[in-house]
Chain A
Amino acid sequence: MNCPYTGFPMIIKLQRLKLQTRKSEEAINITASVEEVVRKSGVKNGLVNILTTHTSSGLLVTEGIPCLEEDILTHFARLFPEDQDYHHRRYLDYDGRLGFNADAHLKSVIGGISCTFPIENGEIVKGSRQTIYFMEYDGPLERTYLVQVLGE
């Protein structure tokens, strides 16, 4: 398929990336991995969308410094303490186990699970301070996130 405006061929590429988290909660900088997918995609102008496939993890964008990573996790924990009276504390027959990680799910909801950036001349366009984070709220686990690049 060609772009109706420029006539160049449209490219749509989806990459599934694995990530081994190592702690119960952590913020992992994935910016370089996303940039690499974009570079290899061959897309010069378009969009990149990044999405976690898990409901107890998240994706967010902020300045890439450790104090902010710590603040995000600390204040998410303050918003959704582990020892609250959640309904999500019961046997889940489809999983064969108890579900009791409502705090992780709620952090995922409030923090978001995806982000999108424009691509120009083969590079992601973003602010100099903007860093893409995979957010683990219930690790350690092997996680998967998606990077879809589309454009011309």
Chain B
Amino acid sequence: MIDFHTHPALIQELRAQYPSYERSAREVFQIGNTFQPLETFFLEMDVAGIERAVLLPIACRRARKGDVSSNEQVAELARKSRRFVGFASVDPLEKGAARELEAAVTKLHLKGLKLDPALQDFSPGDRKAFAVYEAAEALGIPLVIHTGMSWAPGTALERGHPLHLENAIRRFPKLRFVLAHFAWPWVWEAAALALKYPNVYLDTACLYYDSPKEFFQFVFSKQIPTSLIERSLRNKIVFGSNYPRVEIKNMAAAVRSLHLTEGCLQKIFKENAERLLGM
């Protein structure tokens, strides 16, 4: 079982080591929870039945004056435990971003790319970002990209519309795009992209109101039918929690509360992620 969407933003050991880490958590990522030891992260995974977690940094120092975890910090955590799969993040508008990504993959052994057009303040359809997509495609790594609403103040809602990605999706057919947060509220558009394009995947890390179970019951049975997931998108969805914004255990329970078959849940929690990660 794999959680494809976590942020190592509240880890005590990193706070003790890096002076700017706490400011980034509070002022850039804007999360108010207490910093926790790494052990809590592993216990949280254990309670949820999750074996491995993808760690996502966000390189947003140009737009927000600070990264939400760095590639080096993520690589350090991935070296500490095989339960972590580290991804890299680069700023597509910065010179040398493609080279930086290549170094993160070849030298830091990071396994994927994370982008957040809202926090990083770039348009995902902007051709200036294409060099980074091209590099990720050449490296054969998946891209987790924020789509849908972002809570971060000062960010434009429209940046998260998944159709902004369609040109890139067509232009880079071998780059696997994982649209984070199921692009809520644009779940139909996200579902359509995943239906139409073989290189588009979706993660379940969406929670914008109510409890995870209530939200999932509405989005995945009333906003779009559950049968769409069960029958047509079962190979295109990965479980993501968005921890520590939400506890992994609650998001996992919400996915399990949907009326999906065991076979479909197995794909969402495990097989699709393993395929994306080449495991």
Q: Kindly list chain A residues whose C-beta atoms are within 8 Å of the C-beta of B43.
A: 20-22, 139-140
Question: What is the CA–CA distance of A22 and B214 in the complex, to the nearest angstrom?
Answer: 26
Question: What is the CA–CA distance of A95 and B34 in the complex, to the nearest angstrom?
Answer: 10
Question: What is the CA–CA distance of A24 and B244 in the complex, to the nearest angstrom?
Answer: 15
Question: What is the CA–CA distance of A23 and B44 in the complex, to the nearest angstrom?
Answer: 8
Q: Kindly list chain A residues whose C-beta atoms are within 8 Å of the C-beta of B12.
A: 142
Interface residues in A9-34 (C-beta closer than 8 Å to B): 20-24
Nearest residue, chain A, Cβ from B244: A97
Assess the B151–A91 pair: CB atoms within 8 A. yes
Interface residues in B180-221 (C-beta closer than 8 Å to A): 207-214
Kindly supply a per-residue 1/0 record for chain A positions 133-152, scoring 1 wherever the CB is within 8 Å of any chain B CB and 0 otherwise: 00000011110000000000
Question: What is the CA–CA distance of A23 and B40 in the complex, to the nearest angstrom?
Answer: 10
Nearest residue, chain A, Cβ from B42: A140
Question: What is the CA–CA distance of A94 and B36 in the complex, to the nearest angstrom?
Answer: 18
Interface residues in A67-100 (C-beta closer than 8 Å to B): 83, 89-92, 94-98, 100
Question: What is the CA–CA distance of A94 and B33 in the complex, to the nearest angstrom?
Answer: 9
Assess the B213–A83 pair: CB atoms within 8 A. yes
Contact for A89 among B34, B47, B210, B245, CB less than 8 A:
B210
Contact for B209 among A22, A24, A90, A141, CB less than 8 A:
A90
Contact for A20 among B30, B40, B211, B250, CB less than 8 A:
B40
Contact for B31 among A22, A23, A96, A141, CB less than 8 A:
A96
Q: How large is the interface on A (under 10, 10 to 19, 20 to 34, 35 or more residues)?
A: 20 to 34
Q: Give the secondary structure class of A's interface.
A: loop
Kindly provide the distance from the CB of B113 to the nearest chain A CB, expressed in whole angstroms.
24
Kindly supply a per-residue 1/0 record for chain A positions 48-67, scoring 1 wherever the CB is within 8 Å of any chain B CB and 0 otherwise: 00000000000000000000
Q: Give the secondary structure class of B's interface.
A: loop
Assess the B209–A98 pair: CB atoms within 8 A. yes
Question: What is the CA–CA distance of A89 and B211 in the complex, to the nearest angstrom?
Answer: 6
Question: What is the CA–CA distance of A83 and B31 in the complex, to the nearest angstrom?
Answer: 25
Assess the A97–B208 pair: CB atoms within 8 A. no
- Give how many B residues have a beta carbon under 8 Å from the other chain's beta carbons: 29
Q: Is B39 an interface residue (CB 8 A)?
A: yes
Assess the B32–A24 pair: CB atoms within 8 A. no
Q: Kindly list chain A residues whose C-beta atoms are within 8 Å of the C-beta of B44.
A: 140
Q: Kindly list chain A residues whose C-beta atoms are within 8 Å of the C-beta of B249.
A: 24
Assess the B32–A100 pair: CB atoms within 8 A. no
Q: Kindly list chain B residues whose C-beta atoms are within 8 Å of the C-beta of A96.
A: 29-32, 151, 245
Assess the A97–B246 pair: CB atoms within 8 A. yes
Q: Is B37 an interface residue (CB 8 A)?
A: yes
Q: A95-B31, A100-B250 are in contact. Are A142 and B40 (CB under 8 A)?
A: yes
Assess the A95–B209 pair: CB atoms within 8 A. no
Q: A95-B31, A96-B29 are in contact. Are A140 and B47 (CB under 8 A)?
A: yes
Question: What is the CA–CA distance of A95 and B245 in the complex, to the nearest angstrom?
Answer: 9
Question: What is the CA–CA distance of A90 and B211 in the complex, to the nearest angstrom?
Answer: 8
Question: What is the CA–CA distance of A100 and B210 in the complex, to the nearest angstrom?
Answer: 7
Q: Kindly list chain A residues whose C-beta atoms are within 8 Å of the C-beta of B33.
A: 95, 97
Q: Kindly list chain A residues whose C-beta atoms are within 8 Å of the C-beta of B39.
A: 20, 142
Contact for A97 among B31, B34, B36, B37, CB less than 8 A:
B31
Q: A20-B37, A140-B44, A140-B47 are in contact. Are A94 and B32 (CB under 8 A)?
A: yes
Nearest residue, chain B, Cβ from A97: B245
Q: Kindly list chain B residues whose C-beta atoms are within 8 Å of the C-beta of A22.
A: 43
Question: What is the CA–CA distance of A89 and B250 in the complex, to the nearest angstrom?
Answer: 13
Q: Kindly list chain A residues whose C-beta atoms are within 8 Å of the C-beta of B214.
A: 89
Question: What is the CA–CA distance of A63 and B207 in the complex, to the nearest angstrom?
Answer: 41
Contact for B40 among A90, A91, A140, CB less than 8 A:
A140
30 pairs of residues in contact across A and B, judged by CB atoms under 8 Å: A20-B37, A22-B43, A23-B47, A24-B47, A83-B213, A89-B214, A90-B209, A90-B210, A91-B209, A92-B32, A95-B33, A96-B29, A96-B30, A96-B31, A96-B32, A97-B33, A98-B208, A98-B211, A100-B210, A100-B211, A100-B212, A100-B250, A139-B43, A140-B43, A140-B44, A140-B46, A142-B12, A142-B36, A142-B39, A142-B40
